[in-house]
Amino acid sequence: MSQQQPSHAIQAKVASEAAQNFVDNFYETLNRGKSPAQYYVSSSTKLTAVGGLTPDISVNGRVCNGGGGEGGSVVAEYEKLLAAQGTPVHYEIHSFDAQPLNPNYVIGLTPAEQQQPVSTTRERDVAERLSFAVQVSGALKLGKGEDVTDKDFNEAFVLVPHWESQGRSAARNARRYLVVSQNFRSF
């Protein structure tokens, strides 16, 4: 028996609110020069070990592959690209858009967990299984003073539920959604 899907309005509201939280926090992390590793599926045992996921990151057409099999991680390679930009760096967000993708995302869940019913009307329950896309546009400012270089950028993400952030034993500050795919372009 298939489960009823949440309404499009609830999915859109959940995706929009989650995207706002993600955009605010992710770019603040980058602006402070901190590691963004906590935002990626590689920080989740259930998504990596059970689901077999690794982040898919592309920067200006260059695919991050973790150092070509040299034991490096995809996120570590992305962090090296961020460091190569120099400092200071400031991402100024002009707009973002969120679109629900899958209201019943189950990768990383055990078969028993996948079968557990989820309310389709309570936003909190819908949020537990919703994956969504986020499109961000803005300006990237590199350097300071008269040496500032401005570049426009466009970035697309796919975020999925972070299973370890749910339930009674969830870590307090765990991200509710994690990046599984990221495509950054500056021009």
In a domain, 1, yes or no: no
Per DSSP, the residues of 68-92 read: TSSS--HHHHHHHHHHHT-S-EEEE
Question: Does residue 123 belong to any structural domain of this protein?
Answer: yes
Q: How far apart are CA 5 and CA 120, in angstroms?
A: 6
What pLDDT score does 174 carry?
83
Strand pairing class (56-59; 62-64): antiparallel
State mean pLDDT over 118-131: 79
What is the pTM for the complete model shown? 0.90
Does 3 map to a domain? no
Closest-CA residue to 174 (of 48, 40, 17, 77): 40
- The CATH code of the domain that includes 109 is 3.10.450.50
Residue 88 covered by a domain: yes
Q: Is residue 2 part of a domain?
A: no
Structural domain boundaries, residue 76: 8-186
The verdict on residue 50 lying in a domain is: yes
pLDDT digits (tens, 9 = 90+) for 25-75: 999 999 999 999 999 999 998 899 888 899 999 999 999 988 655 445 999
Quote the tokens at residue 172: 């307090």
Q: 164 in a domain, yes or no?
A: yes
Cα–chain-centroid distance for residue 54?
12
In this structure, what token pair is assigned to residue 89? 């760096």
Please give the tally of structural domains in the chain: 1
Express each pLDDT in 84-107 by its tens digit. Answer: 988 899 999 999 999 999 999 999
- Range 30-45 burial, b when 16+ CB lie within 10 A, else e: beeeeebebbbbbbbe
